[in-house]
Amino acid sequence: MREIVFDTETTGLDFESDRIIEFGGIELWNHIPTGKHFHAFIRPAGRRVDPGAFDVHGISDDFLKDKPLFEAVVDEILEFFGDATLIAHNATFDIRFINAELARLGRKPIDMGVVIDTLQMARRKFPMAPATLDALCSRFSIDTTKRDKHGALVDSELLASVYIELIGGRQAALGLVSAHQEDRRDADGTPTRIEMRATPLPPRLSRAEEAAHRAFVASLGAEAAWTPHLPPEPATGVSDSAG
């Protein structure tokens, strides 16, 4: 399943008159970051950055003056989206801005039916708790040190980590747990203990299946999240006990 986690920065808050000035998105495959991303700064035709918006993202009119217009990057954005499920935090805000830009170009709008809003997910999972991206990163102990101000690409990367936690955490995303036990907390903060196997189960894949998996990971590119976790290749001449 292909998913795109994305974010936008804008000149202000009114999608009818303000414009998108930054787009950033990263690709997930079965909830795993593949290393593929798309990022662009965009010159807002006929619109200046509001001072309040500048305080949030730090993107100035002077910085944007030589950047492409939305019409110059729209095809790349739509191609990057493809037929993926789209994931955003407070997704209605971002989709309204994107659809307003598409409407100005006579393009078909994005269907909200393919969009997942992590803000709504967080509010359902943690009622009455803060649900900003910063608050969720703090809740899930996600490192935000590389984030000075809001930025579409870095926020997409952080949101991808938050999204994986919201759907079940590192185990749901096939992450590796180094200890036999891992501390977690329920929605009310109560500590929960998850027992891990002291001895891993023996492998059940044949060498052909392992080779097919290696080929798939290789097709995702050198930055694929799975690459560092691949087991060593079996020595030549070893029989295939599962074959």
Task: Establish if 200 belongs to a structural domain.
Answer: no
Domain count, the chain: 2
**Mean per-residue pLDDT for 100-126?**
97
> What are the phi and psi torsion angles at 195 (to 5°)?
-80, 135
Residue 166 sits at the vertex; the CA angle it makes with 160 and 171, to the nearest 5 degrees, is 85
With pLDDT > 70 as the criterion, what percentage of the chain qualifies?
75
The residue among 186 and 50 whose pLDDT is bigger is 50
Asked if residue 44 lies in contact with residue 4, where contact means CB atoms within 8 angstroms, the answer is no
The residue among 177 and 185 whose pLDDT is bigger is 185
User: What is the residue whose two structure tokens read 């894949």?
Assistant: 205
With pLDDT > 90 as the criterion, what percentage of the chain qualifies?
64
- Which is the catalytic residue, given 31, 150, 180, 229? 150
Q: Quick one: DSSP state of residue 207? A: H
Q: Which amino acid is at 47?
A: R
Give the whole-angstrom CA distance, residue 196 versus residue 181: 5
**Mean per-residue pLDDT for 35-55?**
95
| C-beta atoms surrounding 59 within 10 Å | 24
Task: Establish if 27 belongs to a structural domain.
Answer: yes
Chain segment 121-178, per-residue pLDDT in tens: 999 999 999 999 999 999 999 998 877 667 899 999 999 999 999 998 765 444 433 3
Which pLDDT does position 218 carry in this prediction? Answer: 78
> What are the phi and psi torsion angles at 159 (to 5°)?
-65, -35
Task: Establish if 92 belongs to a structural domain.
Answer: yes
Range of the domain at 219: 205-233
Does the annotation mark 150 as catalytic?
A: yes
Judge if 75 and 150 occupy the same domain.
yes
Last residue of a domain, one of 166, 188, 221: 166
Q: What is this structure's pTM?
A: 0.69
23 pLDDT above the threshold of 60: yes
**Mean per-residue pLDDT for 20-28?**
97
Task: Pick the closest to residue 100 from 47, 154, 36 (CA basis).
Answer: 47
19 pLDDT above the threshold of 60: yes
User: Per 3-state DSSP, what percentage of the chain is helix, strand, and coil (rounded to 5)?
Assistant: 35, 20, 45
The residue among 115 and 190 whose pLDDT is bigger is 115
Cα 106 to its chain centre, rounded Å, is 28
